Amino acid sequence: MEEKLLVVDNLTTSFHLQNGWFSAIEDLSFTLNSNETLALVGESGCGKSVTAYSIMNLLPKPGSRIDRGHVLFHGKDLVGLPEAEMRSLRGSKLAMIFQEPMTSLNPALTVGQQIAEVLYYHNGMSRKKALKGALELLDQVKIPAAATRLNDYPHHLSGGMRQRVMIAMALAGRPEIMLADEPTTALDVTIQAQVLALLDDLKRELKMSMIFITHDMGVVARVADRVAVMYGGYLAEVAPVEDLFANPVHPYTEALLKSVPRLDRDINELNSIPGMVPSIDCMPKGCRFAERCTYKIAICEQQMPELAAINAAGNHSVRCWVRGGQTTSSGESQA
């Protein structure tokens, strides 16, 4: 059986706005297995990055909090863990590639110093050995003329190179789990393909597990083993990547796939999803996607459905009254 490295159980994270506390993710549950890439997919505002920051305990204080739930890493709950213990895990066992490298890297330090800092604090290396290790990491992420780039500042590098530096920093502690928060969003398609190939190679070489956050379904098809589609802070659908693309069940998943441009379609057939993701302080009572859904029925606007398995293997789950095979409180099937 596959080892469950990470178990997220009923996690709820809230932010404080002017009129009170509102949940950005609610009752979120999923697992990450050894050697697996799980893609978290959805539009901006669906709760993907909040999920990653909750796992890493990097939520801004005091304006946010974890209300309930657990994040179990090798069975150890990270929620409520003292900061000193959490800091020892970040960068070593758990690492994160942030969304925008130019704002994540320190402009006052060379890239070599920033990578070496991880090795110095987490691996106990001397500063001289840490700089040598930083050079090896730059070579590993395929930065040309790595010895010269070691002394460059972030603004000297292109966007693709800065992203590779971020990957090198995340790899420095040889983590078991990598959280990649839209690492290719600001890159052109050629560099994006190179970064994705690099991440895939490094994952296999180091036998890491990865949570890959993106809104790009094309990227999902390339990197993921399983996919968790998020909407309005909830999981809408979870399935192996092949099943999700061959048989998208939730209306939101179907709409996301239809919105991807394809070479075999006329440009005039490009589809979009009407409406917007609701704000966390204006969430509807029932299904969060109901206002934008063409399949909705009365109960969709009144009650949130459960995330339920729809296949015999139990690895394809959907949260939908119409397509999820669920029943109402009166026992009447809505499938």
* Segments making up each domain of the chain, as ranges: 104-173
Strand partners for 95: 178
pTM of the model: 0.90
Count of C-beta atoms within a 10 Å radius of residue 216: 16
The verdict on whether omega for the bond into residue 62 sits within 30 degrees of 0, i.e. cis, is yes
Q: What is the 3-state secondary structure (H, E, C) of 164-228?
A: HHHHHHHHCCCCCEEEEECCCCCCCHHHHHHHHHHHHHHHHHHCCEEEEEECCHHHHHHHCCEEE
Strand partners for 316: none
Q: How far apart are CA 309 and CA 319, in angstroms?
A: 9
Taking alpha carbons only, the member of 240, 209, 242, 229 closest to residue 307 is 229
Q: Give the CA distances from residue 313 to residues 2, 189, 235, 243, 317, in Å, rounded to whole numbers and listed in that order.
A: 15, 36, 19, 12, 10
Q: What is the 3-state secondary structure (H, E, C) of 247-284?
A: CCCCHHHHHHHHCCCCCCCCHHHCCCCCCCCCCHHHCC
First to last CA, the chain: 32
Count of C-beta atoms within a 10 Å radius of residue 268: 5
175-226: pLDDT as tens digits: 999 999 988 876 778 888 888 888 888 888 888 999 999 988 888 998 999 9
Q: How far apart are CA 127 and CA 121, in angstroms?
A: 10
Tens-level pLDDT at each residue, the chain (335 residues): 567 899 999 999 999 999 899 999 999 999 999 999 999 999 999 999 999 999 999 998 899 999 999 999 999 999 989 999 999 899 889 999 988 777 889 999 999 999 999 898 888 889 899 999 999 999 989 899 999 999 999 999 988 889 899 999 998 888 999 999 988 876 778 888 888 888 888 888 888 999 999 988 888 998 999 999 999 999 999 999 999 999 999 999 999 998 877 666 666 667 788 899 999 999 999 999 999 999 999 999 999 999 999 999 889 999 999 988 665 544 444 44
Is residue 229 packed enough to be buried (19+ CB in 10 Å), middle (13-18) or exposed (0-12)?
buried
Hey, what amino acid is at 171? L
CB-side neighbour CA atoms (13 Å) of 285: 6
**Are β-strands 177-181 and 94-97 bridged in parallel, bridged antiparallel, or unpaired?**
parallel
Q: How far apart are CA 248 and CA 307, in angstroms?
A: 15
Hey, what amino acid is at 264? D
